[in-house]
Chain A
Amino acid sequence: MLQPYTDVENKKQEHAKPLLQVRNLKKYFPITSSLGRHVGDVKSVDGVDFDLYEQQTVGLVGESGCGKSTTGRAILRLTDPTEGEAIYNGRDIFKLKEKEFHKIRKDFQMVFQDPHSSLNPKKRIGEAIIEPMKIHQIGTKRDQMDRAMELLLKVGIRKDQFYRYPHEFSGGQRQRIGLARALAVNPKIVVCDEPVSALDVSIQSQVINLLKEIQENFQLTYLFISHDLSVVRHMADQICVMYLGKIVERAPTDELFGHPNHPYTRALLSAIPLPNPKIKNERIVIKGDVPSPIHPPSGCVFHTRCPFVMERCKQQVPSMKELTAGHYAACHLND
């Protein structure tokens, strides 16, 4: 199962080694009848493989309900995976006991989508940033305070706002505070779950630039989850396209946008409205809605909406094939 794959996107990548290897990750949410009998599963994430490389960004894109957020939450063990492994520093973090995992939890942090609900409204923002340091017993009280102040400055919040409450800040500022909080314990991996989706475009670009800058300064590895392909393209070194719990295509960013292979990726790319009235996109319109993850279609999960569907797609599950170096896609058309 565990086979490394090589990427040759840029020089940085050549000597990068995988920091986290996720293999065959599955997360099923059980459905029970009113009497508590197990009657089925919502197959939210259904066998996902990817590697996170040191100081790089992997983008996870897909539409609502494709399982991208669940994937992010599962590797932080915010939700317990049903199956699979995630190798970090030679150990499978899914198998660690709660106590052991707690010791390395500070290496994994998360930035959430909604800046309004991810901060405790009753806590001053300074305390909110100190809290994770308290939990992990990092430094003295004085150190914690100093570090929190320094972090606020780094993300562009004035020191004198340390004692303010979240409601006194705008959405963009709250997102900055959320980032400062994630940075407090010096993480290695930060899962950014739609960090700019709730923001206006002018604020969005400020936060994107900040995320990139922070990644350089703090030598972070990002898993960047978003539904917005142009944002992911700007952030990520490598992109995984998810559909109905499965990764259907995985490639270095420029390769994916230059030569999209899977019909779903192509449809997704062509569906983005471009801010240029002179270009009329040749659109691959895919019909209908995403099927329910309770009863995913047989064979290829995309076959119900695919414009190129063949008889074979309805029965056989396509396997991931390497097309060019580092570019993988799961589609029968490639045979």
Chain B
Amino acid sequence: MQESLLEVKNLKTSFSTESGVVTAVDGVTFTVHAGETLGVVGESGCGKSVTAESILQLLNERTTKYEGEINYKGKNILTLNKKQMQQIRGNEIAMIFQDAMTSLNPVFTIGDQITEAITAHMKMGRKEANKKAIDMLSLTGISSPEMRFHEYPYEISGGMRQRAMIAMALVCRPNLLIADEPTTALDVTIQAQILEVINNIKNELNMGIVMITHDLGVIAEVCTHVVVMYLGQVIEDADVESLFSNPAHPYTKGLLQCIPQIDGDRSRQLYTIEGIVPSLDNVPKGCRFSQRCPHSDAKCLNEPPLLEEINDKHKVRCWHYDKI
């Protein structure tokens, strides 16, 4: 067995708010290996982005509390101090965000922002850093990188901004990339280009990737392993083939049936999951999905299920997965 690159163990992230403590991520566990892409999928409010931000500890430190372990190369990075964490951010673990326009600084050129990442982590002269930045830009498939280097974020298109952000994240050759909905704001043809870029660079650098998305199509396309989240918990954890061919949790099954298929029957009604996601300050007592689940019974309403192993590649958090 390959040694794991990132191991998140029982992560619990809670925020103190005016109305009390809200636990956005409640006991999340997963592992990422080098060269592997782990997909984290779920709907808005399921805690997928908070999980990502917790890994790099990007959340407001005054109001956020992290519990559990985040082991990066065997070391728990939650115990590191600010300075040590700064060494890891960007250098070892990098992140790309959904909205490139708000993630890039509008008053600096693309080039400035990429070289800043280089000089922050490496001892390198200006000229050398510039060259490295331009090389990275061309690796992401930007046309005429020398020209783009001197341009400001507003001067280039959305797809190019996303490429520039990827270049910025990857210029220090990180071992782990966290991609938080990297293609959600883009058109499908540009999305296809960006996913290809990420995949090529992954193979080149042998990175591990945590791909956060709500799009099951993207998951099927790029991921090797998937965790499905619902209301702060992992409800299913499987390799990509089993998840799509053999979904075990009623929520995962529902999600897969909800999407209009490009080759499905158009005249039939779409499957729906009744109701809406409950709010985090009013989490159901038993199984968190029990109120919306078509199979729930008294046990589901009262006792929270645990993440159980179906086989060595597939885990599910449901009392009745073997019966439904």
Measuring CB to CB, which residues of chain A are less than 8 angstroms from any residue of chain B? 63-64, 170, 172-173, 200-206, 208-209, 212, 227, 229-231, 233-234, 253-254, 257, 267-269, 271-278, 283, 285-290
Contact = CB atoms under 8 A, between A and B. Distances in A.
B217 interface: yes
A288 B159 CA distance: 9
A274 B220 contact: yes
Q: Chain A interface secondary structure, helix, strand, loop or mixed?
A: helix
A271 B245 CA distance: 22
A170 B195 CA distance: 31
Contacts of B277: 200
B189 A230 contact: no
Interface string B23-57: 00000000000000000000110000000000000
A272 B276 contact: no
Nearest to A231: B260
Given A63-B189, A204-B258, A275 B272 contact: no
B218 interface: yes
Q: Is the interface of B mostly helix, strand, loop or mixed?
A: helix
13 contacts: A202-B43, A202-B273, A205-B270, A227-B187, A230-B260, A267-B189, A268-B188, A271-B188, A272-B188, A273-B191, A274-B221, A283-B192, A290-B157
Contacts of B254: 202
Contact of A273 (B158, B221, B241, B261): B221
Given A201-B258, A205-B259, 15 more contacts: A63-B188, A63-B189, A200-B43, A202-B43, A203-B43, A203-B276, A204-B258, A229-B262, A230-B262, A231-B260, A234-B264, A273-B221, A275-B244, A290-B157, A290-B187
Interface string B132-166: 00000000000100000000000001111000000
A289 B270 contact: no
A158 to B, nearest CB: 13
A173 B276 CA distance: 9
Given A273-B215, A278-B241, A289-B190, A202 B262 contact: no
A302 B216 CA distance: 30
Contacts of B219: 275
A271 B191 contact: yes
Given A172-B276, A277-B241, A283-B192, A202 B255 contact: yes
A155 B216 CA distance: 28
A176 B255 CA distance: 21
A289 B159 contact: yes
Nearest to B256: A275
A208 B259 CA distance: 10
A204 B270 CA distance: 10
Contacts of A206: 272-273
Interface in B205-247: 214-221, 240-241, 244-245
Given A233-B262, A234-B266, A271 B189 contact: yes
A273 B218 contact: yes
Contact of A277 (B159, B160, B196, B240): B240
Contacts, number: 117
Interface residues of B, number: 45
A205 B241 CA distance: 24
B193 interface: yes
B321 interface: no
Given A230-B260, A234-B260, A285-B193, A201 B214 contact: yes
Contacts of A233: 260, 262, 266
Contacts of B108: none
Contact of B143 (A170, A229, A269, A288): A288
A152 to B, nearest CB: 17
B188 A275 contact: no
Contacts of B259: 201, 205, 230, 275
Nearest to B185: A64
A287 to B, nearest CB: 8
A152 B221 CA distance: 40
B189 A268 contact: yes
A201 to B, nearest CB: 5
Contact of B220 (A200, A268, A273, A290): A273
Contacts of B157: 289-290
Contacts of A278: 241, 244-245
B260 A273 contact: no
Interface in B286-312: none
Closest 9 pairs (CB-CB, A-B): A273-B217, A63-B187, A234-B260, A200-B43, A205-B270, A202-B273, A205-B258, A275-B216, A271-B192
A139 B308 CA distance: 60
Q: Of residues B159, B196, B241, B276, which shows the largest number of chain A Cβ atoms within 10 Å of its Cβ?
A: B276
Contacts of A63: 187-190
B255 to A, nearest CB: 6
Interface string B261-281: 110101001111100110000
